[in-house]
Chains A and B, each alone.
Chain A
């Protein structure tokens, strides 16, 4: 007996850093599992090992190493030339057969900034100002892997620096290091998390009880409409009835005020409500925001891949139990 569901997806908007879509005809558990995988189990690249040659800055080694780890690292998929899924291109370093590290499981970044060397090229009046070492100074040994400096061009235009600032150095200070990036998942450390926020809301089912509403006066109807901070209800000019606003599903967040007001308006406790707002049990509005390391749509596809792989790996384990 097959009780397989047929889920549907409707995309609302796609940007490199954010995707909004509606997932429907499936259970809450599927939506929640998808969300949990996006947050915790999508593999990404992040700096995991730092070898220092020189650090005379004001921040100590491990402080800078911590900051380097949190820089989002983008894998430019050769097919699409945007932040893509690194799962196929790299091997987790634990599983790699190499001795220490190799191009299959890791990417090396070189960073070498010497204040005194850079000072010669700077303008006269700026020569003694602190110099910011940013993610733009990291040089990768793999042309497909680069640090994600900004989310989009707006951020780049607004920023004062050329990338994510790592440390500010002054005269006589020198930072020289080699950073090794590896593939991992957020369960091991939050630096590998591909999303800034992965959330879903329930689709609001707003029903207006026309019969009950017809017993209300015009002022009472206006009261009901005004009490909602989200403006999900409107007054139809022609018929004078309460109707649901066009984009109510986008706006509906808080409906407690509406409920409280209705309980005071009702003639008897047991009467039906005039307007009911309920959570849909099988329609969800997702909003996934990336950190810049992976494009949002690739995060979604990668999470579906991870779910598929996890379930497929469980199948033979369960079949093994049968024999016993």
Chain B
């Protein structure tokens, strides 16, 4: 009766004009802000957070899922100086992750090709 549609876990709610990402600058702490990602979960949250922790300009990076029934992530970032804002740090993180995924794709394709060349004939093709 009260169960939400399963697709609400990954589709943005257009009726309520849900946006993917919003940003709220922190009023009390300098160079800090919280990003709210809608319809995301640990899959992206942990990945982005761990990438942010690799930057020397990032003093604090953490994410949480405020409520398990609401599909939303709060990602809080604080940078060391105003030369690099939280948005800059997040932007860099996403760029690096896109680069890493591209490299991983190429690596996977070439690894599979190499293995198939060395082990020709294994793996039967055919619809069962």
- Do these two chains really belong together in a complex? yes
Q: In the docked arrangement, what's the CA distance between A94 and B12, Å?
A: 13
Asked if A123 CB lies within 8 Å of chain B CBs, one says no
Of A41, A311, A322, most buried by chain B (CB within 10 Å of CB) is: A311
- A136: shortest Cβ distance to chain B, in Å? 11
B98 with A156: CB separation less than 8 A: no
Q: Which residue of chain B is the closest to A33 with respect to CB atoms?
A: B47
Most buried by B among A13, A14, A21, A94: A14
Q: Is A319 an interface residue (CB 8 A)?
A: yes
**Complex Cα–Cα for A317 and B54 (A):** 22
B100 in contact with A301 (CB, 8 Å):
no
Task: Give residues of chain B (37-96) contacting chain A, Cβ–Cβ below 8 Å.
Answer: 37, 42-44, 46-47, 49-51, 54-57, 87, 90-92, 94-96
B87–A11 CB distance below 8 A: no
Contact B100 A9 (CB under 8 A): no
B21 at the interface (CB under 8 A from A): yes
**A321 x B111 contact (CB < 8 A):** no
Assess whether B87 is in contact with A318, with CB atoms less than 8 Å apart: yes
Whether B128 pairs with A292 at a CB distance below 8 angstroms is yes
**Residue pair A317, B20 in contact (C-beta under 8 Å):** yes
Q: Point out the residues of chain A lying under 8 angstroms from B96, CB to CB.
A: 2-5
Assess whether A304 is in contact with B115, with CB atoms less than 8 Å apart. no
Chain A at the B interface: SS class: mixed
Are B125 and A152 in contact, CB atoms less than 8 angstroms apart?
no
B9, B49, B112: the one within 8 Å of A29 (CB):
B49
Contacts of A36 in B (CB 8 A): 42-43
Kindly name the residue among B91, B115, B119 whose own CB sees the greatest number of chain A CB atoms within 10 A: B115
Q: Does B19 contact A (CB under 8 A)?
A: yes
B107 touches A188 (CB 8 A): no
The interface size of chain A toward B, counting residues with CB under 8 Å, comes to 66
Docked pose: A28 CA to B42 CA in angstroms:
13
Known contacts A3-B96, A314-B20; is-contact A304 B105 (Cβ 8 Å): yes
| Residues B102 and A308 in contact, CB atoms below 8 Å apart | yes
Interface size bucket, B side? 35 or more
Q: Given A149-B128, A308-B105 in contact, is the A5-B100 Cβ separation under 8 Å?
A: yes
Residues of B within 8 A of A (CB): 6-7, 9-11, 19-23, 35, 37, 42-44, 46-47, 49-51, 54-57, 87, 90-92, 94-105, 107-109, 111-112, 114-116, 119, 122-128
Residues of chain A at the chain B interface (Cβ within 8 Å): 1-11, 13-16, 21, 26-30, 32-33, 36-37, 40-41, 74, 76, 81-82, 94, 146, 148-153, 155-156, 185, 187-189, 292, 297, 300-301, 304-305, 307-308, 310-315, 317-322, 324
22 contacts between A and B (CB under 8 A): A1-B56, A7-B103, A26-B104, A27-B51, A28-B50, A30-B47, A33-B46, A74-B127, A76-B127, A146-B127, A152-B124, A156-B128, A187-B6, A188-B9, A297-B112, A301-B108, A304-B105, A308-B105, A314-B21, A318-B91, A319-B91, A324-B23
In the complex, besides A304-B108, A318-B87, 8 extra interface pairs with C-beta distance below 8 angstroms are A14-B116, A27-B51, A32-B42, A82-B126, A187-B6, A188-B6, A320-B21, A322-B87
